[in-house]
Copies of this chain bind each other. A is one copy, B any other.
Amino acid sequence: MTDSKRPLTNPLALAILVLLYERPMHPYEMATTLRERRKESSIRLNYGSLYAVIKQLLREKFIAVREILKEGKHPAKTVYELRSLGEAELIDWMRELVSSPAKEYPMFEAAISLLPVLPPEEVIELLEIRIGLLEKTIDQIDEEELKCREMKLPRLFSLESEYYKAMTLAEYEFSKDLLSDLKRDAGRLRSGWTEMRMQHLAAKAGSNEASVPAVPKNQKRKESHERKNS
């Protein structure tokens, strides 16, 4: 909300702040709690970076060591607690995340914007695979949902999977539309496709096309510089 450049961007940091907002905890407990609540499915969590992230949170004074519990010959448990600065950061961060959509860059969008490198016929096949996999994903979400309802968990606990389902469905619809457009349409959607591929194809084939610029035949790939190995 206020200042867009937060010291930490790792979502694991956000998750830890939330846990410590509930109660003090030691690192291992954080990991098991997050696992228990299955947060990995909606938050990118890498438990290997747990101690690293805690170090960062300490550095920023968002958290502090509350106590170090030593029992017998067990390794000592370092219990952390939230500091007021960390609480402020947590609330501010959450407010920003909820109120302000941030442009994110899914790789599928990148792929679509580079689609002409693949021949349209292949894209059709690939999209069919994708659509099948998306259907599977949606079925899985539905199953999970059913389980939750059977266990009579309040809806609040599965809001994130509702969101995930909505987004997956939207991608599914988009993919299906794109596929059928590609299949039906020989001119409109495909117009420009081969033209965009042409330069490469021309370079490869040594081409007799008129519209190909600036790539003399003696500069064809494959023959020129392709050395064996270092």
Q: Name A's B-contacting residues (CB within 8 A).
A: 11, 14-15, 18, 21-24, 39, 42-44, 61, 64-66, 81-84, 90-91, 94-95, 97-102, 104-118, 122-123, 126-127, 129-130, 133-134, 137, 154-157, 159-160, 162-164, 166-171, 173-174, 178, 188-193, 196, 199-200, 203, 214-215, 219, 221-222, 224-227, 229-230
Contact = CB atoms under 8 A, between A and B. Distances in A.
A163 B83 contact: no
Contacts of A39: 113
Contacts of A61: 229-230
Nearest to A189: B155
Contacts of A214: 23
A114 B15 contact: yes
Contacts of A200: 21-23
Contacts of A65: 225
Contacts of A224: 66, 81
Given A99-B126, A115-B156, 15 more contacts: A15-B114, A22-B200, A42-B113, A43-B110, A43-B113, A43-B114, A61-B229, A94-B111, A94-B114, A94-B118, A95-B118, A112-B159, A115-B159, A155-B191, A156-B192
Nearest to A127: B98
Contact of A109 (B94, B154, B160): B160
A226 B107 contact: no
A177 B174 CA distance: 21
Contacts of A122: 95
Contacts of A97: 107-108, 110-111
A221 B44 contact: no
A214 B79 CA distance: 14
B107 A11 contact: yes
Given A21-B117, A226-B83, A104 B101 contact: no
A64 B215 contact: no
B123 A98 contact: yes
A98 B113 contact: no
Given A23-B199, A107-B11, A108-B163, A126 B95 contact: yes
